[in-house]
C-alpha cells in the first residue's frame, strides 16, 4: 500500500511538472532557439554519426540523477566534485556539442534558453538524423543548482536483472514498456569491454562464458576484449548493435532474439517473461518501436524538471551562475 502511494505521488509530480512544460515554450522569447540547436547537431552529425548515442546517454544519465536539470554538465572544481566525475559518467561525451549550441543560442537570446532544454532538443534532433521518428519536445526546463558526484553512483548498471533495473525506472514514474523502449537506444550505442567482459569467459564466477550469448558472438568479442581488465581510457569498445550500428532501427531487438545481446541486461530483456513479449513486438514492428521511443523520450524529458522560478538559466552550461552580491546598507 505504501509503495503504491509513493508511485502515485511520483506520477502526480511528473504530471504537474509536465503540465508546465510546453511545445514552443520559446516561441516569443527566442523563436530561433530550436533551429539553432538543430543546426549545430546537423553539422556534428555529418562528421560523427556516433553523436546520437552520446547524446542519448548524456540525456539519460542527467534525467536519472536529479531529474532533467543539466546537472551532468557542471565541471568539477577544486572544492566540489560534480556528477561528471562519477564512475558511470566517465564515458559520457558530447559536452562540446552542448557548449557550441549554448554559445550560439546565447548570441541570439542571452540568458533565455536553459542548458537542460538544449540537451533535450539536441538529443531529439540527433535521433531523427539517425532515422528515428520526429517528435515535439516540450520545453521550459530550468537548470539545476546542485551537481554532486555522489548522486550519480546510483545509476542502473548493465549487469542487473530486469526486475532490479525496472525498480530504477519505476521510481521515475516510468512503465515496463518505457524501460524496454528506452533501452532500445542501444541500437546506436557502444560499450566498453569492461561492462560485459565477464560474460565472455567467467560469467558470475563460473569460469565459463554466459550460456545465453551466441557462442560465435562471444568468440568474436573475446578476440577484441581478451580476459584482462584495462583502464577505461585503454579499454576497447564495441557496437551494441552489431548489424546496423549507426541506424536508429529495431535491429537491437532482433539480435537479442538470437542471443546476440552484448550486455547482460540487453539479453535479459528477451529472456525475462515480463519483457520478452515487448521485445518480440518491437522486433516485428520497427515503426511501433520508433513511435514508442518518441513517446518514452517525451516522458523521460519530464522527469523531475525544474520550472517557473526554480533553478536558473545558466550563461555557461559548465558552471553555475555567479551568486548576486548582497549589498548591505547602513541605517
Helix/strand/coil for 164: helix
For the cut 70, the answer to whether the pLDDT of residue 86 exceeds it is yes
Helix/strand/coil for 180: helix
For the cut 70, the answer to whether the pLDDT of residue 326 exceeds it is no
Please tell me whether 209 is known to bind a ligand. Answer: no
Range 255-271 average pLDDT: 97
For the cut 90, the answer to whether the pLDDT of residue 194 exceeds it is yes
Please tell me whether 48 is known to bind a ligand. Answer: no
The pLDDT value recorded for residue 131 is 98
Topology of domain 162-296 in CATH is Peroxidase; domain 2 (1.10.420)
Find where cell 524501460 sits. Answer: 179
Decide whether 11-155 matches 162-296 in CATH topology: no
Q: Mean pLDDT across the chain, nearest whole number?
A: 92
For the cut 80, the answer to whether the pLDDT of residue 2 exceeds it is no
- Extents of the domains making up the chain: 11-155, 162-296
The pLDDT value recorded for residue 233 is 85
The pLDDT value recorded for residue 193 is 95
The phi, psi pair for 208, rounded to 5°, reads -125, 155
For the cut 50, the answer to whether the pLDDT of residue 8 exceeds it is no
Dihedral angle at the C-alpha atoms of 113, 47, 129, 121, nearest 10 degrees?
A: -10
The pLDDT value recorded for residue 330 is 56
pTM comes to 0.91
Summarize pLDDT for 276-299 with one digit per residue, the tens: 999 999 999 999 999 999 999 999
CA–CA separation, 128 vs 78, rounded Å? 39
Please tell me whether 227 is known to bind a ligand. Answer: no
Reduced 3-state DSSP string for 33-84: HHHHHHHHHHHHHHHCCCHHHHHHHHHHHHHHHHCCCCHHHCCCCCCCCCHH
Q: What percent of the chain has pLDDT over 90?
A: 84
Q: State the catalytic residue, choosing from 15, 59, 61, 192.
A: 61
Range 53-58 average pLDDT: 98
Please tell me whether 192 is known to bind a ligand. Answer: no
For the cut 60, the answer to whether the pLDDT of residue 9 exceeds it is no
Please tell me whether 244 is known to bind a ligand. Answer: yes
Please tell me whether 67 is known to bind a ligand. Answer: yes
For residue 229, what pLDDT band results from cuts at 50, 70 and 90? Answer: confident
Query: Which stretch of 198-202, 228-232, 264-268, 324-328 has the lowest confidence by average pLDDT?
Result: 324-328
For the cut 70, the answer to whether the pLDDT of residue 67 exceeds it is yes
CA–CA separation, 298 vs 27, rounded Å? 19
Range 197-221 average pLDDT: 91
Grid cell, residue 284, equals: 516485428
For residue 63, what pLDDT band results from cuts at 50, 70 and 90? Answer: very high
For residue 204, what pLDDT band results from cuts at 50, 70 and 90? Answer: confident
CA–CA separation, 128 vs 140, rounded Å? 21
Topology of domain 11-155 in CATH is Peroxidase; domain 1 (1.10.520)
Please tell me whether 241 is known to bind a ligand. Answer: yes
Please tell me whether 206 is known to bind a ligand. Answer: no
Grid cell, residue 154, equals: 546510483
For residue 202, what pLDDT band results from cuts at 50, 70 and 90? Answer: confident
Summarize pLDDT for 21-51 with one digit per residue, the tens: 999 999 999 999 999 999 999 999 999 999 9
Please choose, from the candidates 244, 238, 203, 208, the residue with its C-alpha nearest in 3D space to the C-alpha of residue 223: 238
Q: What percent of the chain has pLDDT over 70?
A: 92
Q: How far is CA 240 from CA 125, 177, 184, 251, in A?
A: 21, 20, 10, 10
* 61 in catalytic set: yes
Range 312-317 average pLDDT: 98
Q: Under a CB-based contact definition with an 8 Å cutoff, are residues 299 and 177 in contact?
A: no
The pLDDT value recorded for residue 328 is 63
For residue 327, what pLDDT band results from cuts at 50, 70 and 90? Answer: low
Enter the DSSP assignment of 245: T
The phi, psi pair for 155, rounded to 5°, reads -90, 150
Amino acid at each position: 500500500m505504501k509503495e503504491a502511494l509513493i508511485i502515485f505521488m511520483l506520477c502526480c509530480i511528473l504530471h504537474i511538472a509536465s503540465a508546465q512544460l510546453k511545445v514552443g515554450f520559446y516561441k516569443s522569447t527566442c523563436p530561433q532557439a530550436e533551429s539553432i540547436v538543430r543546426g549545430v547537431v546537423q553539422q556534428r552529425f555529418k562528421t560523427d554519426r556516433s553523436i546520437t548515442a552520446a547524446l542519448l546517454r548524456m540525456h539519460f544519465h542527467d534525467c536519472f540523477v536529479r531529474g532533467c536539470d543539466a546537472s551532468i554538465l557542471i565541471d568539477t572544481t577544486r572544492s566540489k566534485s560534480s556528477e561528471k566525475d562519477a564512475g558511470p559518467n566517465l564515458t559520457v561525451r558530447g559536452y562540446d556539442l552542448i557548449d557550441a549550441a549554448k554559445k550560439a543560442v546565447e548570441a541570439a537570446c542571452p540568458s533565455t534558453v536553459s542548458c537542460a532544454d538544449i540537451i533535450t532538443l539536441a538529443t531529439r534532433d540527433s535521433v531523427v538524423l539517425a532515422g528515428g521518428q520526429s517528435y515535439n519536445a516540450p520545453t521550459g526546463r530550468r537548470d539545476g543548482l546542485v551537481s554532486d558526484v555522489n548522486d550519480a553512483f546510483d545509476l542502473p548498471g548493465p549487469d542487473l536483472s530486469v526486475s532490479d533495473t525496472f525498480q530504477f525506472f519505476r521510481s521515475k514514474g516510468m512503465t515496463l514498456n518505457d524501460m524496454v523502449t528506452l533501452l532500445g537506444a542501444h541500437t546506436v550505442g557502444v560499450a566498453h569491454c569492461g561492462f560485459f567482459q565477464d560474460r565472455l569467459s567467467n560469467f558470475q564466477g563460473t569460469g565459463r562464458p554466459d550460456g545465453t550469448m551466441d557462442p560465435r558472438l562471444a568468440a568474436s568479442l573475446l578476440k577484441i576484449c581478451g580476459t584482462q581488465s584495462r583502464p577505461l581510457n585503454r579499454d576497447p569498445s564495441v557496437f551494441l548493435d552489431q548489424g546496423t550500428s549507426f541506424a536508429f532501427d529495431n535491429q537491437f531487438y532482433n539480435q537479442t532474439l538470437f542471443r546476440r545481446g552484448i550486455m547482460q541486461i540487453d539479453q535479459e530483456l528477451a529472456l525475462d517473461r515480463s519483457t520478452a513479449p515487448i521485445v518480440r513486438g518491437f522486433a516485428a514492428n520497427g515503426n511501433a518501436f520508433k513511435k514508442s521511443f518518441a513517446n518514452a523520450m517525451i516522458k523521460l524529458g519530464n522527469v523531475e524538471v525544474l520550472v517557473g522560478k526554480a533553478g536558473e538559466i545558466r550563461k555557461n552550461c559548465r558552471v553555475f551562475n555567479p551568486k548576486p552580491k548582497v549589498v548591505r546598507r547602513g541605517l
